[in-house]
Structure formats: C-alpha cells, structure tokens
Amino acid sequence: MTSKNPENINTQGTTGDGGELHQLAGSGEQLTTNHGTPVSDDQNSLRAGRRGPTLLEDFVVREKIFHFDHERIPERIVHARGSGAHGYFECTDPIPELTRASLFQEKGHRVPVFARFSTVAGGAGSADTPRDVRGFAVKFYTQEGNWDLVGNNIPVFFIQDAIKFPDLIHAVKMEADRGFPQAATAHDTFWDFASLVPETTHMLMWAMSDRTLPRSLRMMDGFGIHTFRLVDANGGSRFVKFHWRPTLGVQSTLWDEAVKIAGADSDFHRRDLHDAIAGGHFPSWDLSIQVFDDEFAASQPYDVLDSTKLIPEEQIPLRVIGRMVLDRNPANFFAETEQVAFLPSNVVAGIDFSDDPLLQGRLFSYLDTQHSRLGSVNFHQLPINQAKCPVANFQRDGHMQTTVPTGRANYEPNSLDETGEDVGPRENPEGGFRTHSGALSDGSSKVRERADRFADHYSQATMFWHSQTPNEQAHVVSAFVFELSKVTASHIRLRMLSNLVDVAPDLAAHVAAQLGLSVPGASTPACPATKMAPSRALSIQANATPTLQGRKVAILMAEGSSKAKADELTSALEAAGAGVVLVAPTVNVKLGRTTVAVDGQLAGTPSFLFDAVALILTQEAAQSLTANPAAVQFVRDAYNHLKAIGSTTDSRALIEAAGVDPDDAVTGLDEAFVTAASTRFFQREPALPTLA
Ligand code: HDE
C-alpha cells in the first residue's frame, strides 16, 4: 500500500461542496481500508449534514484513527534510542577446529545481519550524543538459526550479577520523583548507586573515558563482554570473548562537542549512519576472538565469568575471523529497527554460554521483554526477526499467529502416518544444538538426561491396578476399551496393549478380548519393574463412607401421588443431609386437591442427575408411565448406574417395565431407602451390560 503524495491532493477544492471527491494522481494503486475496501474520500469524515456531527457509522475514519491511536509500542526499558542497518557478515578465517558454527566453516561464507546501535539510558526520542555506553547488537541470520551477539562498545559491565540490573537501571534513568535528567549519568541516584557498589568501578573508568562519546556509530568497538564458549564438532570446548573493531578506527568527540552536537543535531549519529550507507560508504568491522581454556582461566587473578573484567590482549591476542559490512538502510524504521528483538539466548550449534551470572540473567530477560514490547509470543514471525532458515516445530497458536500449520499432529512423539513413523519435524541428535556439558562446581555437569530411576514407568502403574476393587478394575478395563475402540490406527492400539501387558497381563487380556485382539508381547521396559504391595489408599471404593450429605435424590410423582408420603420422605432425606428434587411428567401436578409445582419435568430431568430415585405413583400412573420412554429410562438408568431405587408398592409396574431385577438397593420408602441412597450398590454391577 502506498501513501498519496500530499501535493497531489486538492483539499481546497473540496471545502465548498462538502466532500466532493477529486480523482487523485499517484502511484495508481487505490487507497483502501485495512480490510481492502476502496476508500472514496480520505479528506472528509461522514457527517449528519454539512455542519453536523460525525457519524459512528463512518468505518473509514474510525479505522484510521483507531489504528493511529495504537501506533506506538512500549519503548525498550534500556537501549530505547537506537539506529539499525542491514548488511552481511563474511568469514575471513574459518575456525572449524574451534567451533562447528556454520558461519565460521568456510572462507568467504556470508550470512545476512541486522545491527542496532543504541544509547542505554535515554528514551527513544533522546539525543544521540549523551555520555553513555553504546549498545552494539548484531543478529546473524545463519543457515542454522539466528545468532544474536548483543554487546556494548565497552568490554566490561557495571555489575556482576543480573539481580542488580534493575537497581542499576533505576539509578541511571530519570529520577523517580522528578522525571529528569534524561539520558544522563550526572545525577544523584546514579552516583549514589555507583558509590555503594564497588563492582561498578572498572566500568566507571571506561564510562568516564572518551569511549562514551563516540564520534560516529561507525567508529566504535563492539564487545560481547561475557565469556562464551566455542564448541567444536567433537564436543570439545574453549572459552571465547568476541570483539568488533571498526575499519575506520575508534574515534571520539570531546565532551564540549558532544554537548553542542546534542543541541545542533540530536539525530547526529542516526543521520550519520543513514547518510554514510545511503552514500555508499558502508561501515565495516572486523570480528575477532580471544580463545582460552580452563587452565588459562584458572590461572588468572580474576574470574573469567566476571563481566566487570576483561582479558588483556597482551595475554590472549585477538584473532580476526570475519568482517561485517552494513550496506543497506532499513526500509521502515518501525518495522525493522524498532521491532527487531535481540535475544542473547539466540545461539547456534557451536556457540554456547558460560556460567557468567550476568549472562545467565540476560538469557531470561530478553525473551521476557519481547513479550511486553511486541505483545505476542509470535514476535519471531515479524520479518526482521524471522530466521532465514527453515523453522519447524509443534509450537502453535498465540496472539497474531500468521502461519497456517496443516495436519493433525501438533505434538511429538507421534506416529500418525500408516507406517507408524512420526509426522512432522524430529529432533536432530547429531546436528542439533547441544549444550556443552561443562563441569559445574559440585562436580556434576549440564545434561539433558533423567536419573536412572526415572526410567521405571510400570511398577507404580501395576501397584495402582492391584489396589483397585474388582468394580474399579472393571471400570479401568471398560475405559481402555472405549478409548482404544475410538482409535483408528491399529498400530497405536497394539502399542498401547503391549504397554498394558507390562502393567498387568490380566488387564491387557481383558482389554484385548473386548477389542477382539490377541494380546501382544510385552514391551521392553528400560528399567525392570519392582514389586510393590497394593495400597488401599489408592482405591476410591475401598475408602468410601456412605453418606447422604451433599447427595441429591429425585422423587418421581404423577397425578394422584400422595403428597403426604412425598413430604415424609423429603423430611427423612433432608434430615440425613440430602437435597430433594420433585419430578413429574408435567410441571404442575395434581396431588389430591392441591396442585403442586414440581422442580423438574420428567423428560428434562433424567435420573442420572441424581444419586438415588424414589417413585411415589398411583397404580394407574405407574401403569400409564410404562408407555412413557422418559419414565422407563428414568428407572432403568438409575438401576444401571447402581443407584438406590425406593418405591411404593403401587409404583411396581414402572419398575418392572424398566427391567429392574430387585436387589438390596431396590427398596420400599423406608429407612432401607435412606441407607441405600447413601452409596452406590456396586454388587449389582457385574450383572449389568454397562461394562465392556
Ligand atoms: Fe541488556 N537489555 N541487559 N545488556 N541490552 C536489553 O532487551 C538486560 C546487558 C544490551 O538493540 C533489553 O530487547 C539485563 C549487558 C543491548 O534491541 C532487556 C541485563 C549488555 C540492548 C535487557 C543486561 C547489554 C539491550 C531491553 C543484566 C552488554 C539493546 C530491550 C543481566 C553485553 C538491544 C530488549 C537492541 C537491551 C536486559 C545487561 C546490552 C530489558 C537483565 C551486560 C545492546 O531485556
């Protein structure tokens, strides 16, 4: 969509006639709403008469202003003021002996990059030249995923541990009560914090030096600061520090100059970067590494995991391995420079983290912050953040999802195709990113493994099976039969059955029999099961205490039923804690001389909503209800669901019509019913057709 050149719009001509459309010259593309409707007049809103109020109906103006109202997103909490550019990184000295990272394997290999340079303290609209550290963040779009080297132009940092970062930033930003100074460290709270936290001292030296007054973004160093790891193809690892060196050399302004530049051109650095690239003077940097091993690290008087320390080049010289050239300005500042999301956790196979506690905190923070800034877990789908290699996984949905995944499998493992193979992307144990195991201080190492005893998946499943009552076991069998009968892929059924063999052969045999399958062989568990004694606590039935508290009983009545009997039963049930609901074929039912409004009409109040049912019917009503399917089902369901059924003798016809075989829970309307209604009559179950 292009915007029209304002010079071509003759707004003057429209004033006299209240909204006449002038055919606009332009690119020829027509102006539309966001939903594609061509717009006929972009100059006047829709009014009730020429001088009347604007109408709510005007979706054109509403959409335009609605969108405008929400154009801004939260600026970065730090590094809000920044300028970016596209370019490429070229490997000039491959280091396959040090890392398997694809971008460092071949001389001349290029990957696209996007770099963003920033001040730290100021807001998005602040001046470019305060005394401040500069961010130097580079996103490498490699063939094996994005690698973000999110550094600064100073090789050390203020603090050693991420937990102090919010304090540092609160102290350096505008003071909380007054909202100033903007983009400056020269105020009480910053120096209060700095003076109380001696670990800031080294960085303060750098911050007070000319490093924080760069002449141009093109003339700054860049540093990864933290110690990282390079990991070779055999899993061997060394520590590394990354350095960017500008081809133009490091150059700074004087303080007085920087102050004056801020007044004369607050976009000094942004303009300089833009103009240089637009003019074909592409800024470039060498990427160098300092590589060292554990032995070197252990021999230093400082800790290499401490971000307030650097490693003198005199001790570990820099080795240049590549070059970055920025040769293209962003086409759209917001879409690219503002929406770019750098994540120190974006590493590629061959590059890994160290245990630097500052770095470890950053691994969380940046992912987290993108959610509040960009508003969606799908921020990686924005063009500037998209990896330029295939991306495939089972993550789905979320706000502003722009991809349309196909197929049923959105989980892994799966075996949905006919051969039983996984559908969709699979792990790549050889080529995939593997965390370097590194020795931890307690002698252990970082592994993606589970402890051996986690491999026993059957012992407790078996214990559970043997702890169930026969009823409960039958329910488990029925449930497996039902669920597996719904599975259409036969290999899935068989695999599940063989798992059940490992739980209990009798369970598997029952399930297999009901599915019409033969019992497959057991699977081979990674860890042999241990025999565990059954636990009574695992059974619901074995621990159930009969009670009417919280249970609900329905009394089925019809014309002519005895209200006195119903009242008497209701009192007895309520006294024992039950709730009572009156049900009848009609909502209003005549009981002798009174007409009573019942709680539920029979067809809409089935017995499975209750824990027990009672029938108080006259002989005629019972007889006539035998022809009413809802009434017959009312009794039959109660019976099949192992519920107590209490009834008057006159109600018998309906009980018989429902096929009830009288047992101890089919009672009169006496104390026996109250007792039977307190529980389910499990003894009835084996004879019923409800189980698989
Ligand atoms: Fe950052 N930092 N940072 N930082 N940082 C952010 O992430 C944070 C630190 C750096 O151009 C935020 O996307 C924590 C060191 C740069 O978009 C946030 C800690 C270094 C940029 C964040 C640090 C940096 C950021 C804000 C202490 C140099 C701008 C917006 C553990 C190696 C990237 C965003 C860009 C941005 C957190 C310390 C550099 C809040 C918690 C050390 C260059 O996530």
Per-residue pLDDT tens digits for 219-229: 999 999 999 99
- Encode pLDDT of 198-216 as tens digits: 999 999 999 999 999 999 9
Q: Are strands 284-292 and 319-328 parallel, antiparallel or unpaired?
A: antiparallel
Residue 223 alpha carbon, nearest atom of ligand 1: 32
135 CA from centroid of ligand 1 (Å) = 8
User: Which residue among 172, 228, 362 has the greatest number of ligand 1 atoms within 8 angstroms of its CB, and so is best to mutate?
Assistant: 362
Checking if the pLDDT of 118 tops 50, the result is yes
The residues annotated as belonging to the active site are 79, 152
Environment class of 563 (CB within 10 Å of its CB; exposed 0-12, middle 13-18, buried 19+): middle
Ligand 1, pocket-test mutation among 73, 75, 76, most atoms within 8 A of CB: 76
Ramachandran bin of 53, using left for φ above 0, alpha for ψ from -120 to 50, beta for the remaining angles = beta
What region, left, alpha or beta, does residue 659 occupy, with left being phi > 0 and alpha being psi -120 to 50 degrees? left
Q: Give every CB contact of residue 560 below 8 A, 6+ residues apart in sequence.
A: 590, 591, 592, 618, 620, 621
Average pLDDT of the chain, as a whole number: 94
Rounded distance from Cα 276 to ligand 1 centre (Å):
26
pLDDT computed for residue 20 by the predictor: 41
Q: What is the pLDDT at residue 416?
A: 81
Please report, for the chain, the start and end positions of each structural domain, with discontinuous segments joined by +. Answer: 82-381, 458-542, 548-687
Counting from 1 in the atom list of ligand 1, the atom nearest the Cα of 366 is 44
pLDDT digits (tens, 9 = 90+) for 156-168: 999 999 999 999 9
What residues flank ligand 1, with Cβ below 6 Å? 76-79, 82, 116, 118, 135, 137, 150-152, 157, 162, 165, 225, 307, 340-342, 358, 361-362, 365-366, 369
Phi and psi angles of residue 325, each rounded to the nearest 5 degrees, phi first: -125, 130
| Proportion of the chain above pLDDT 90, given as a percent | 88
Confidence class for position 263, pLDDT limits 50, 70, 90:
very high
Q: Is the pLDDT of residue 561 over 50?
A: yes
**613 strand-pairing partners:** 554, 645
611 CA distance to ligand 1 middle (Å): 61
The radius of gyration of the chain's CA atoms, rounded to the nearest angstrom, is 38
Predicted local distance difference test score (pLDDT) of residue 125: 98
Indicate whether 436 pLDDT > 60: yes
- CATH architecture under which domain 82-381 falls: Beta Barrel (2.40)
- pLDDT at 6 exceeding the cut of 50: no
Token pair listed for 572: 């007895």
Quick: pLDDT tens for 353-379: 999 999 999 999 999 999 999 999 999
190's tokens: 């910053």
Mutate to test the pocket of ligand 1, among 150, 228, 270, 273 (most ligand atoms within 8 A of CB): 150
| CATH number 3.40.50.880 given to 548-687 | yes
Q: At what angle do helices 459-466 and 490-503 cross, to 10 degrees?
A: 80
Residue 315 has a CB neighbour count (10 Å cut-off) of 11
- The C-alpha angle 308, 357, 144, rounded to 5 degrees, equals 105
* Same fold: 458-542 with 548-687: no
Where does the pLDDT of residue 439 fall: very low under 50, low under 70, confident under 90, or very high at 90 and above?
confident
Each residue of 72-96: pLDDT tens digit? Answer: 999 999 999 999 999 999 999 999 9
Residue with tokens 């960009």: 374
As a whole number, mean pLDDT of residues 464-488 equals 96
Nearest CA to ligand 1 atom 25: 79
Task: Point out the ligand 1 atom lying closest to the alpha carbon of residue 152.
Answer: 28
- Using 50, 70 and 90 to split pLDDT, how confident is the model at 420? low
- Residue 368 CA, closest ligand 1 atom number: 44
CA 397 vs CA 375, 401, 403: distances in Å: 14, 6, 9
Find where tokens 């599915």 sit.
515
C-alpha 3 to ligand 1 mean position (Å): 35
Cα 549 to Cα 565, 645, 665, 675, distances in angstroms: 22, 18, 18, 12
Q: In terms of DSSP bridges, do strands 552-557 and 666-667 run parallel, antiparallel, or are they unpaired?
A: unpaired
Identify the CATH homologous superfamily for domain 458-542: Catalase, four-helical domain (1.20.1370.20)
Convert 606-631 into a string of H (helix), E (strand) and C (coil).
CHHHCCEEEEECCHHHHHHHCCCHHH
**pLDDT tens, residue by residue, 240-261:** 999 999 999 999 999 999 999 9
Q: Structure pTM?
A: 0.85
**226 alpha carbon – ligand 1 mean position (Å):** 13
Question: Greater confidence, 438 or 3?
Answer: 438
Using the mean position of ligand 1's atoms as its centre, give its distance from the Cα of residue 366 in Å.
7
Whether the predicted pLDDT of 69 surpasses 90:
yes
